[in-house]
Structure 1
């Protein structure tokens, strides 16, 4: 019997999950919840039940697990309710806007004996997993440098611009991908972090950073640089690893694709004119079906969770330390880094407050 999922959210990323689930026999989306668009979403994707309140979904829907595709500030209450109801949880990244809420989520799921997995799709992207296999096979020798860049021109939903909901800007939104990927590729956790942040394109919309450069120093001396951006027209998603005997590069944006040319005068709203690269199966290339399949296997106890809540908590800790480093002008900050800030970005914004130490 497939793992029955209750999907909380009906926005862009929820649509990606609905599309990905169709490729995974081990799961089925049995219900969706959204305050305004659940019924339309359910009709579009053939989901049997729709709720206008996620609380009703958790209480009433016949589901085994909850997939949280909602804004960051809702992750904690949804997770607590799901855990109390005995439901496994797949939560979109980051776990929460800050460490205290994320820790509460991990603890609640641990007490309830349910799985908490953070949805870090790049850890399942086939191209990046192939890179990892080549590194582990010794193709480039011992790796000592890693660079990961991911970015676009800005978020797709209004709540991302609100730091009280998101917890930060490009660093917490996109940087979590690169940090998690770097740790998986190097099979280690960093011992220190340094970061610089900037506001280039979106300062009028948010006090958050729209570009972040994060340096990670690992035990043994390996270095990684993660670049996360909301200020990168055209976008990017690439990985480079250098070792003692060679170098590997992988670019998801150059993954198998179809070239499409659209005349400027014929482009409709939301469409880009000129040449575009259209991925023939974007969800698969970015690891979403594989992530759902792994969630089902882990929930059934047949697989060791690849990115459980405790690992996502460590990534969020690194993000908090990166914000603190930016506040200190890019100085190295040692890990572990305890944080009581309700929002990760508070470590950086404190530098702009007269009361900051």
Structure 2
């Protein structure tokens, strides 16, 4: 057990790293000490914006800081493995954004390196911490819905913030990789990590053919060994902001959870809203305006858990092995 706050370093300076920085401000036992980005000026600007005392444009600098106990990787997917191996060698605990990496070989390298170095490899799947989904799982676990029969989860918006997601060589795929990984881990978590015996997917590129060779719409169907069926709907072609919802159908009941709509303010504006919700685009007319958006997604709760794992040497609820299992399903699809 540590007798100090967990020193945190951020890798990345774009959209998801901003979420990480904001979420960690909620965590009493965490202290963000440094940020690293190889893009000229980005780390310095990010550090200034978030009140972070140190910034680097090379990985060696942040790894050399003995005060840093945990690194959070919000860099492009194709460098997740490289950074993880270097961080493990430096003795840092690691949180990796989804997807874990680009392929199964990289996943095995990352897991093995962290195990040999005696550091934790934690997989940043926030749906396992989203308050509404935690309550949904509680209903299932207490037996209120009976035995689960069908699980559904969907995430839809009009496309990624960062350019690298559109490049399949750097991202590893399209929307099935980018957002399908959320659904797969959600289903595994909801269903007690029961083994998956079959995977089916329908992938298409319908709207963004000028931007990507990857899919921008995906339907993924999983069959678990305990008889549960799960269906994911993922899209990069929905305008008007993020949509994130789930359903659990059981033998004794059913439950619906909509992460955003139930926690928003229905707003009409002739001028448009300054910020309504992630990827909202045009907000002239009706929109739904979020409050405490990152909390509703579960990011602060996720990082509170990961920091606790490092500080008190606990096993993470979502690990590198979970990230590997998700990739196995995505590649099967």
What is the number of residues matched between the two proteins?
Answer: 322
Alpha-carbon separation, structure 1, partners of 2:43 and 2:66: 14
Runs of 4+ in 1 over 6 A off after TM superposition: 265-269
Compute the displacement of 1:62 (Å). 2.7
Match of 1:239 among 235, 240, 246: 246
TM-score normalised to structure 1 length: 0.87
1:21 aligns with 2:32: no
Aligned residue number for residue 320 of structure 1: 331
Superposed CA deviations along residues 156-199 of structure 1, whole A, max 9, x for unmatched, are 11111111100000011000001100111111231111111011
Asked if the contact 1:255–1:279 (Cα under 8 Å) also holds between the matched residues in 2, the reply is no
Cross-structure match for 1:156? 161
Residue 191 (structure 1) aligned to one of 179, 183, 197: 197
Give unpaired runs (5+ residues) of structure 1: 323-357
1:251 aligns with 2:263: no
Per the alignment, residue 124 of structure 1 pairs with 129
Q: What is the aligned counterpart of 1:296 among 307, 313, 317?
A: 307
Secondary structure of 1:192's partner? strand
Q: Note the alpha carbon deviations across 1:107-156, whole angstroms, 9 max, x for none.
A: 11011010000100111001000000110101110010011110111111
Structure 2: runs of 5 or more not aligned: none
Work out the CA distance in 2 between the residues paired with 1:267 and 1:295.
Answer: 32
Task: Tell me the equivalent position of 1:106.
Answer: 111
Residue equivalent to 1:308: 319
* Residue 282 (structure 1) aligned with residue 293 (structure 2): yes
Q: Find out whether 1:218 has 2:218 as its counterpart.
A: no
Aligned match of 1:337: none
Q: Which residue of 2 aligns with 1:260?
A: 267
User: CA offset at residue 229 of structure 1?
Assistant: 1.2
Task: Quote the Cα distance in structure 1 between the aligned partners of 2:332 and 2:136.
Answer: 28
User: How far is the alpha carbon of 1:271 from its aligned partner?
Assistant: 5.1
Q: Distance in 1 between matches of 2:197 and 2:129?
A: 25
Alpha carbons of 1:14 and 1:180: their partners in 2 closer, same or farther (altered >3 Å)?
Answer: same
Name the SS for the 1:191 alignment partner.
strand
Task: Report if the CA contact (8 A) 1:120-1:177 is conserved.
Answer: yes
- TM-score by structure 2 length? 0.93
SS in 1 for 2:64: helix
State which drifts further: 162-171 or 183-192: 183-192
Distance 1:14 1:57, change over 3 A: same
Aligned to 2:206: 200
